[in-house]
A = this chain, B = another copy of it.
Amino acid sequence: MSQSATPHLETVSHMIADIQSGNRRTLSKAISLVESSLEEDRVLTEALLEAIVPLTGKAKRIGITGSPGVGKSTFIETFGLACIEKGETIAVLAIDPSSQSHGGSILGDKVRMPALARSEQAYIRPSPSRSTLGGVSNATREAMLLCEAAGFTTILIETVGVGQSEVEVRSMTDLFLFLTLPVAGDEVQGIKRGIMELADIIFVNKSDGDLQDFAEMAKSQIQSALTLMHSPTEDWKVRTLTGSGLTGHGIQELLQLCSEFFVHPSPHDHAIQERRIRQNLEWFEMSCRRELIHWAETQDSFRNAKLKAEQDIINGNTVPSIAARSLINTHLHSD
């Protein structure tokens, strides 16, 4: 990719050296580049990303989801600090589909996780709140690679449970952690089965004070629901834990479970590697589709015929699905 001749080769190698040496400012600047919607930034971004490929892939990639109100921020703060005590360094990224429309419901700043934000071993990056060239999830994937190049050993990607965002986070992480509230009875039915099926570990958060009994009931109900589901990860048995981000209860057990998940060699170790390859192929497929649409819009004959077809549709003279097929078969140059 070189619209302009060899883009800023020196800039790129300087930035990489800075990122590797732990310079947060350069890391932030690089992530801003991947989030940019400007074509000229894209040239630099691609040079940068291609150069760091060998430095990537070494972190544990953990996705975290749960409805608003489940205590995600407090949980991530406690969990992140506990990981740091075990010697990890943590980058926290977010995918927040709502941030596109109304400025973000995941607060981007350090307010949500003050202690984690102060730690030298942690880096917290808010979800991009503007449109990016390849969409939010593409920017988050690329940001993850940059954080890996910066040497972070664990990447936490959080999302609010809205729309397709859990599916996107699942599609870029190794381990997917689902936080839920200590509610029992019929309400457990309310937990979206679709999300539970994505999770490797389910953590019943806010299991503290008066809610501990409910939490145990919720846990056993979830466990019985799980018996009807497949694990998303080969050779991994989905586990449910109760605990509390607020009191720290259950966090050590959760860490223990996470290290079981990531231990090498393990029966499901190859499953993680295979999943990453599958994830990269999906990422490629999505990117192809996006770029293909972008490319077609730049073809004059296609673009003009498309405008004409749209006019026919506005006038009610044609069936949209037929107009589309005719447009593509007539106005693109085939081999």
Contact = CB atoms under 8 A, between A and B. Distances in A.
Interface of A: 1, 46, 49-50, 53, 57, 134, 138, 141-142, 145, 162-164, 187, 190, 194, 277, 280-281, 283-284, 287-296, 298-302, 306, 309-310, 313-314, 316-329, 332-335
A298 to B, nearest CB: 8
Q: How many copies does the complex hold?
A: 2
Most buried by B among A138, A317, A325: A325
Given A299-B335, A300-B335, A325-B287, A319 B163 contact: no
Contacts of A194: 162-163
A217 to B, nearest CB: 17
5 contacts: A53-B318, A162-B194, A187-B190, A287-B323, A288-B306
A332 B327 CA distance: 17
Dominant secondary structure of chain A at its interface with chain B: helix
Most buried by B among A163, A289, A306: A289
Contacts of A299: 334-335
B309 A284 contact: yes
Contacts of A284: 309-310, 313, 320-321, 323-324
B46 A322 contact: yes
Contacts of A190: 187, 190
Contacts of A319: 46, 49-50, 53, 142, 145
